[in-house]
Chain A
Amino acid sequence: DADVTQTPRNRITKTGKRIMLECSQTKGHDRMYWYRQDPGLGLRLIYYSFDVKDINKGEISDGYSVSRQAQAKFSLSLESAIPNQTALYFCATSDQGLAGTDTQYFGPGTRLTVL
Chain B
Amino acid sequence: QKEVEQNSGPLSVPEGAIASLNCTYSDRVSQSFFWYRQYSGKSPELIMSIYSNGDKEDGRFTAQLNKASQYVSLLIRDSQPSDSATYLCAVPNFGNEKLTFGTGTRLTIIP
Contact = CB atoms under 8 A, between A and B. Distances in A.
Contact of A42 (B88, B96, B97): B88
Contacts of A109: 42-43
Given A100-B92, A101-B49, A102-B92, A40 B98 contact: no
A48 to B, nearest CB: 6
Interface in A27-74: 33, 40-45, 48, 50, 56, 58
Contacts, number: 51
In terms of DSSP, what is the predominant structure of the interface of chain B? loop
Interface residues of A, number: 22
Given A58-B98, A90-B43, A100 B32 contact: yes
Interface size class of B (residues with CB under 8 A): 20 to 34
Contacts of A45: 98-100
A98 B90 CA distance: 17
A100 B98 contact: no
B8 interface: yes
In terms of DSSP, what is the predominant structure of the interface of chain A? loop
27 contacts: A40-B8, A41-B103, A42-B88, A42-B101, A42-B102, A42-B103, A42-B104, A43-B44, A43-B88, A44-B101, A45-B98, A48-B97, A48-B98, A99-B96, A100-B31, A100-B32, A100-B51, A100-B92, A101-B32, A102-B92, A102-B96, A103-B46, A103-B49, A104-B44, A104-B46, A104-B99, A107-B43
> What 9 pairs between A and B have smallest CB-CB spacing?
A100-B32, A106-B43, A42-B103, A43-B101, A100-B31, A42-B101, A99-B96, A103-B46, A106-B44
A90 B97 CA distance: 17
B45 interface: yes
Interface of A: 33, 40-45, 48, 50, 56, 58, 90, 99-104, 106-109
